[in-house]
Amino acid sequence: MLHSCYGVNAEGHLTLGGLDTVKLAKEYGTPLYLLDTDHVRAMCRMYKKSFAAAFGSASAPVYAGKALCCTRIYRIMAEEGLYADCVSPGEILTARHAGFPMSDVFFHGNNKTDEDLRTALSLGVGHIVVDSMDELDALEDLAAAMNVTAKILLRITPGIDPHTHRKIITGNVDSKFGSAIVTGAAEAILCAAMRKPHLVLDGLHCHIGSQIFEIEPFADAADIMTGFIARMRQAHGYAGTILNLGGGFGVRYTEDDPTIDYPSYVCALGKELDQRCERYRIERPTILMEPGRSLVAAAGVTLYTVGSVKEIPGFRNYVSIDGGMPDNPRYTLYQSRYTVLHAEHADAAPDFPCTVAGRCCESGDLIAENVSVVRPRRGDILAVLVTGAYNYSMASHYNRIPKPPVIEISEGKATVAVRRERWEDLYALDEVPPDTASEEVSP
Ligand code: LLP
C-alpha cells in the first residue's frame, strides 16, 4: 500500500491505523474524513529527529497549520513539541484554544490587516513574519502604540523555480509574497527593520513552493539565503540568527509519485547548507522548516458513498459520490491526482475505468479522472487516500453542503475531532438580530 498506515483486513476492507474504514463509514456516515494521528505523531518525531541530526539541536519543525487546522491537531503538535506557522487570526485562535504556546507561533501572510497585527501583538505571538515594507511600517506603529516590542522575521523571495504546479509556487520574483533579493527590496526592508525601535529582527524566512520532490530547489534557496545573510552581515551588521526555509516537502499521492525518504532528504539538505555556510563564512543559523502537507496528508482518508454509476458508451463511466469539491477542491483547482479505492474490495484488481464525480451542480466538480476501481454499485463505499492535507482546511459550503466530520484514529480507537455540520449550522448566521450583526471578531 501507498503508506504504512493503510492496510487491508481479512474481509478485504481498507483499514486505516488498523481500523476497518467500511465499519467507520457505517458508524459515522459519509462523506467522512479519517485521520490516523499515530501516523501524524510518527511524522512529527521523524522530523524532529532528522532536523536535530541535520541542522543541530536548536533547529525545529514548524507545523504549517494551513494544511489541516482544528483544535485537535494543534494539541497534538503542542504535545509533540513542534512550533506552528499560522496564517490568520483564525488559525492563531484555534491554536490558542488548543493550548498551543503563543510564543511558539510564527504569524505569516502577505496581507495582514492592522486588526490581525493587533491581535497577534496582544496575544503574544512569538514571531511575526513581515511580508512587505507597508506591513513593517504598520507593525512598528502598532507596536509603539501598544507599547510592546515584537520579534520578527522578514519574508524574502529568493527567486527560484521549484518545478511544481504553477499555482503553488511562491518563491519566484513575480509573487505576491515577500521581498525579492534581486530587486533590492529585500535589502531595503532589512535595513528598515533594523532601525525600528519596537521590532527585533531575529531572522529571515523564505518559502519556495509546495509538493516538491527534488532537493535542488531547497539547496538553491539555502545557497541564496546564506549568501544574502553573509552580504547583509558585511554591509549592514545584520545579526539575525534564524533562517526559516519554509515548507514544501512532497507527498506520494499515487503509485506514480516518487517516494521520499524524508530523513535522508533532510540530511542531504543539512550537508548542502553546511557547505554554503562554510563558503560564505557565516555561522550556521538556527534552521527552521515548515512542513504542512508531509506531516498530515498520508494520515488522511476520505470515505464516500457511491450514488449513481453512469456508463456512457464511447465516452466514459461516471461514478458519482456524496461529496466532491466542497470537501476536496484540489482536483478542480490543480488537477491533483489521487488514489481511489473500493473500500470494501481494497485488494481486488480494479476493473472499472471511470471518472469520480462530486455531487455539485458543476461539471468541473470531479475528484479524479482516468482512474480504475472495482466496479462499484449504489451504496458502496469509496475511499480516496492521502487526503489529510488541504482537504478539510480548504472545504467550503458550496451548494450549501455541510462539512464532513474529522474522525481521529489512534491506538485502535476512533474519536470525533471535528463533528459533522448540521443543517442548522448552515443557516445559523443568516438573518441574525441587528444588534449582533456587526459584532467585532475579538480574541
Ligand atoms: N510555509 C509557508 C509560508 C507556506 O506558504 C506553506 C504552504 C507551507 C509552509 C507548507 O507547505 P507544505 O509543506 O504543506 O507544502 N493548497 C495547496 C497547497 C498550498 C500551499 C500553501 N503554502 C494544495 O492543496 O496543494
The Å distance, Cα 334 to ligand 1 centre, comes to 13
- Its pTM surpasses 0.85: yes
Verify whether ligand 1 is closer than 6 Å to residue 64 (CB atom). yes
Cell numbers for 329, please give them: 477542491
pLDDT of residue 350: 97
pLDDT of residue 277: 97
Q: Is the pLDDT of residue 171 over 70?
A: no
The Å distance, Cα 290 to ligand 1 centre, comes to 9
The Å distance, Cα 313 to ligand 1 centre, comes to 40
End-to-end C-alpha distance for the chain, whole angstroms:
44
- For 50-70, the DSSP string reads HHHHHH-TT-EEEEEGGGS-S
Verify whether ligand 1 is closer than 6 Å to residue 247 (CB atom). yes
Tell me which residue has its CA closest to atom 16 in ligand 1.
390
Give the relative orientation of helices 262-280 and 37-55 as an angle to the nearest 10 degrees: 30
Question: What are the tens digits of pLDDT across the range 5-25?
Answer: 999 999 999 999 999 999 999
Domains, the chain, ranges and CATH? 6-36+297-419 (2.40.37.10), 37-293 (3.20.20.10)
Question: Cβ contacts of residue 141 below 8 Å, gap of 6+?
Answer: none
The rounded distance, in Å, linking the Cα atoms of 22 and 215 is 38
Binning pLDDT at 50, 70 and 90, where does residue 166 land? Answer: low
Binning pLDDT at 50, 70 and 90, where does residue 362 land? Answer: very high
Verify whether ligand 1 is closer than 6 Å to residue 108 (CB atom). yes
Question: What are the tens digits of pLDDT across the range 95-125?
Answer: 999 999 999 999 999 999 999 999 999 999 9
Q: Is the pLDDT of residue 158 over 90?
A: yes
Q: Are 418 and 406 in contact (CB under 8 A)?
A: yes
Percent of the chain with pLDDT over 90: 93
Residue recorded with cell 507593525: 139
Question: What are the tens digits of pLDDT across the range 35-94?
Answer: 999 999 999 999 999 999 999 999 999 999 999 999 999 999 999 999 999 999 999 999
Q: Is the pLDDT of residue 170 over 70?
A: no
Q: Is the pLDDT of residue 168 over 90?
A: no
Q: Is the pLDDT of residue 437 over 80?
A: no
Question: What are the tens digits of pLDDT across the range 321-355?
Answer: 999 999 999 999 999 999 999 999 999 999 999 99
Q: Is the pLDDT of residue 220 over 90?
A: yes
Nearest atom of ligand 1 to the alpha carbon of 205: 3
The Å distance, Cα 189 to ligand 1 centre, comes to 24
Binning pLDDT at 50, 70 and 90, where does residue 194 land? Answer: very high
Binning pLDDT at 50, 70 and 90, where does residue 164 land? Answer: low
The Å distance, Cα 389 to ligand 1 centre, comes to 9
Q: Is the pLDDT of residue 442 over 70?
A: no
Nearest atom of ligand 1 to the alpha carbon of 108: 3
Helix-strand-coil percent breakdown of the chain, rounded to 5? 35, 25, 40
The mean pLDDT value for 201-221 works out to 95
Q: Is the pLDDT of residue 439 over 60?
A: no
The Å distance, Cα 249 to ligand 1 centre, comes to 9
Mean pLDDT rounded to a whole number for the chain: 96
For residue 220, give the H/E element and its range.
Answer: helix 216-236
| CA contacts within 13 A on the Cβ side of 33 | 35
Q: Are 260 and 266 in contact (CB under 8 A)?
A: no
The rounded distance, in Å, linking the Cα atoms of 115 and 284 is 36
DSSP one-letter code for 420:
P
The rounded distance, in Å, linking the Cα atoms of 368 and 67 is 20
Question: What are the tens digits of pLDDT across the range 383-426?
Answer: 999 999 999 999 999 999 999 999 999 999 999 999 999 999 99
**Strand order from edge to edge, sheet including 19-20:** 6-8, 14-16, 19-20
Verify whether ligand 1 is closer than 6 Å to residue 291 (CB atom). yes
Active site residue 361: yes
Verify whether ligand 1 is closer than 6 Å to residue 178 (CB atom). no
Q: Is the pLDDT of residue 291 over 80?
A: yes
Verify whether ligand 1 is closer than 6 Å to residue 107 (CB atom). no
Q: Is the pLDDT of residue 226 over 70?
A: yes
Q: Is the pLDDT of residue 440 over 60?
A: no
pLDDT of residue 433: 82
Verify whether ligand 1 is closer than 6 Å to residue 210 (CB atom). yes
pLDDT of residue 417: 98
Verify whether ligand 1 is closer than 6 Å to residue 16 (CB atom). no
Phi, psi of 95 (to 5 degrees): -60, -45
Q: Are 332 and 364 in contact (CB under 8 A)?
A: yes
Percent of the chain with pLDDT over 70: 96
Nearest atom of ligand 1 to the alpha carbon of 390: 24
Cell numbers for 431, please give them: 438573518
Catalytic residue among 44, 70, 191, 361: 361
